[in-house]
Chain A
Amino acid sequence: MSYYFTILSPTDTPIFNIAFGTSKGGGDGIARFRFPDTAQYMNQFIIHSSLDIVEEAQWTNGGMYLKHIDTYPPAAAYISAFLTPSGARFLLLHQPPQLPNSGSSGGLGSSSLLGSSGNLVARGSTSSIAANPTSPQTEEAVRQFMTEVYESYVKTAMSPFYKQGMEIRSPVFRTRVTAAGKKWL
């Protein structure tokens, strides 16, 4: 599973970005997205496009954590969202690892840009969060992660040197997010 975590300001400007991989089940914590290295902008496109859904879901969902809100099927990318009172939004894109057998079959028609989508049915057998992005376990793990990041975000935002809407450059915050990722995802 590869993750791309973004905090967006109320004006949709990204104030914090981090890409990391899973550390569970022997993962090394390095993100391996399905897009080729030249197409890493895809993550931002997908995140940006899911804002449509966030804007809709924030009025229909009572909680701060909106759970899994959007999917980008061609690349099997899943988006979870978390709202903060100040209008910043946490968006987490997670992408299950590509199964070795689906690599050849998916490549037939889909272009290299969009990546090839994995076989969703085959993935359902394992219950680990890495393998099943819509399971309750995953939802719960993402929620824990979001809550922990939110705590750190609040502390960072309270810093006298931080103005709302500024990019978050604090190394402490970055390590905390990384640690949370390691812990939960």
Chain B
Amino acid sequence: MKTSLDGLIDESVTIIREVAAEFERPVLLFSGGKDSVVMLHLAVRAFAPARIPFPVMHIDTGHNFSEVIEFRDRCVAEMGVQLIVGSVQASIDSGKVADVSGPRASRNPLQTVTLLDSIAEHRFDAVFGGARRDEERARAKERVYSHRDSFGQWDPKNQRPELWGIYNGRHRQGEHFRIFPLSNWTELDIWTFIGEYNIDLPSIYYAHTRPIFRRDNMLMAVTDFLPPDEGSVVEQMEVRFRTVGDATCTAAVESSASTVADIIAETAVARVTERGATRADDRMSEAGMEDRKRTGYF
């Protein structure tokens, strides 16, 4: 039976195969978050019954939810893919970046250095990311094949035209491409896929009860890396995560949605975007994402 996802799946699978055919050393960024899980599943389907002809990589801030790291390792083992971990802690230990401190500190921005170093170290020339254009307005402007110069920089004013279904991955030594096979998927499409194909996710995407404190109208989870702010009240709340990132800058939403169907129903009537609801990093400035992307962020 044809569903609304068919065209999206066909497009994504075609992009993934095209990269495998044209680039020498692709890698797929895999954080255990729902978008990267869907992307990995599509990659498996693109090459079945052969194995995925490239490894996956996680840039680990060291401040991740333990449920997500456990899921990541289990998922990779089940699918038989090679996992490379780029460690922000290692970048800090080697003196490449300074760790952050203070009450609002997050290692999220430090990931760019570790990401670019890992790309250089392994000489990757194509890096799959699970970003979607509906997430954020700078991403709405980005190509599927997004060129990065030898400094890892994105130049939004000088993007290559991308016509029909023809992708241009020509690059010089030391440059690379970020590839976004899920560009045209929406949050609802992702959940529809997860439901239709029974995709396993980290448990924290579903409603659960945990200690929470409030910061700037966001619900932050108390973890080993994020003690409650001074003076804030810690409550046991029923929440879930709409996005899963670094625990210090990813907020939860109040929810009792415990199944995919519940989440789809909730997403269909959501009045706030997923990043707007839950990402402290995007609230820094009007062009927060554009600025970070310019210097090489995901």
Is B one of A's binding partners? no
